[in-house]
Structure 1
Amino acid sequence: MKNAYIKFILAAVIFGTNGIIASHIPLSSYEIVLTRTVLGVFFLLILATARREWGSLRRASRTSLVWLVLSGLFLSGNWLFLYEAYQHIGVSLATLMCYCGPILIMILSYFVFHEPFTVPKVSAMVIVTVGILCINGAADQAHGLSWGLVCGFLSAVCFALLVIAMKKVI
């Protein structure tokens, strides 16, 4: 159990420093995403080979494989738009815009999976939306609607679609 906590903390630290590190890399957002994707593919290929898990991929249904490919595209879109937003509006605002994703997931889940809206879900959506509007609304009034804010929102859309696609795989 202690090992699981260490892995969780390490993952949180890596994820939390993602924007800070990316904002100091002298590459375009497209180059960063391409590099991350290629490195991720190689790592997963090595891991799947070492664990001999290719059989599970061969046994997967075509529908699952299509959803897996779509998930990869949505993940790439999330990264691409998020890193582009980092470069235009900074890490803090871009991250806040990306956090619209869970709201979109709850809305899409209602239509895709017929998950009902409950009072806690609707309350959380309203609170988060008001918070995001308060914080990003001030930035919008100061600078106007920018490409960075649009990219931040598109990263949230891709994140929501990624989660929905992964739920379809399972």
Structure 2
Amino acid sequence: MNIAAMLKMTIAMALFGSIGFFTVNTGIPAEELVFVRCICATLFLGGMWLFTGGYKAEQFSRKEVVKTIICGVFLVLNWVFLFKAFEEMSISVAISIYNLAPIFVLILGSLLLKEKMSVSAVFAVIVCFLGSVLIIGMEQFTSISAIINSGFAWAILSAICYAMTMFVGKGITQLSAYALTFIQTTVGIIMLLPFIDFGVFHGLTGWNWFYILGTGLIHTGFVYYLFFDSLRNLPTIIVSALVFVDPVVAILLDILILDFRPTIWQTLGIVLIFGGIIYTLVKPSKQALD
């Protein structure tokens, strides 16, 4: 086992987990924050791509570049919707729903690729759905406006867009992780530029700028560097396990620093969601061993 790679991945996931705490302290809307994030990531990872000389070995194909651009659209929408969810609901609830992405990948595979869903997969989907209902509360599902105002719609959309990013990205094999992210964040800059209100950046405090730049440089630049650098040196099962460091840190920060106090039903909902996701990830491994 590569201990250095495990440590890098753990640090990356822990830092990812603090993004919600940073986001709610930036003082700017989701679109503008994602715009800054894309700029920082493009400069940081683009610089690393050039510095390491990785660009010299790239094999660009039209098909993969088009897929990467499509992934970029979904990735940026995923960020915008997640940050909008943070504006409307607690970080713990938003992160729990956001992590339903693997379940949506299962559903997309069944609908678009005609992949047959196993009984265990259907069971996981039902468990995660029940968890979502419990964590939000039945009263939030009485009308469309109630769902939107609760932030549930934004969180679900972020999970769906993240699932689409993973789903479309499966076919990208030649481009390096740096090239992939560089193209995606450049797409984000172009996408968001027409909608940015630069007036929101006026009157911000030093701490606002600390959290804004931290979200861009730390959570997007540095974290993605650690993530990609360690990913190639770790088996899939270890990566799948370490990914859960992200929501654990997010929920702990929400409870310890932002004073979020989940109800019994919300706690049960969180347990059901992550239980269903873990079951989905672990079950195939057990079947493979059999």
| Same fold at TM > 0.5 | yes
The question of 1:71 aligning with 2:39 is answered no
**Rounded Cα–Cα distance in structure 1 between residues aligned with 2:47 and 2:114:** 38
Question: Aligned partner of 1:51: which letter?
Answer: T
What is the match of residue 165 of structure 2? 162
**Rounded Cα–Cα distance in structure 2 between residues aligned with 1:166 and 1:56:** 20
**Rounded Cα–Cα distance in structure 2 between residues aligned with 1:121 and 1:27:** 39
Q: SS at the partner of 2:153?
A: helix
Cα deviations by residue, 1:47-78 (Å, 9 ceiling, x for unpaired): 11112122444x22111001111111111101
Root-mean-square deviation over aligned CA pairs: 2.0
What is the match of residue 82 of structure 1? 82
Cα deviations by residue, 1:87-130 (Å, 9 ceiling, x for unpaired): 11231222223123222110111234443312222221121111
Task: Describe how 1:140-151 pairs up with structure 2 within 5 A.
Answer: 140=140, 144-147=146-149, 148-151=151-154
| Structure with the higher helix share, 1 or 2 | 1
Structure 1 consecutive aligned stretches of length 4 or more whose deviation exceeds 3 Å: 111-115
Q: 60-69 or 104-113, which moves further after superposition?
A: 104-113
What is the match of residue 31 of structure 1? 32
Q: 135-144 or 73-82, which moves further after superposition?
A: 135-144
Structure 2, unmatched stretches of 5+, are 174-290
What is the match of residue 42 of structure 1? 43
**Larger Rg, first or second structure (1 or 2):** 2
**Rounded Cα–Cα distance in structure 2 between residues aligned with 1:139 and 1:24:** 29
What is the match of residue 119 of structure 1? 119
Q: Which has the higher contact order (CA 8 A, sep 6+)?
A: 2
**Rounded Cα–Cα distance in structure 1 between residues aligned with 2:88 and 2:120:** 34
**Rounded Cα–Cα distance in structure 1 between residues aligned with 2:50 and 2:161:** 29
Question: Aligned partner of 2:165: which letter?
Answer: L
Q: Percent identity?
A: 25
Equivalent in 128, 152, 155 of residue 155 of structure 2: 152
Deviation at 1:165, TM superposition (A): 1.3
Q: Count residues in correspondence.
A: 169
Structure 1, unmatched stretches of 5+, are none
What is the match of residue 10 of structure 1? 11
Q: SS at the partner of 1:145?
A: helix
Q: 139-148 or 6-15, which moves further after superposition?
A: 139-148
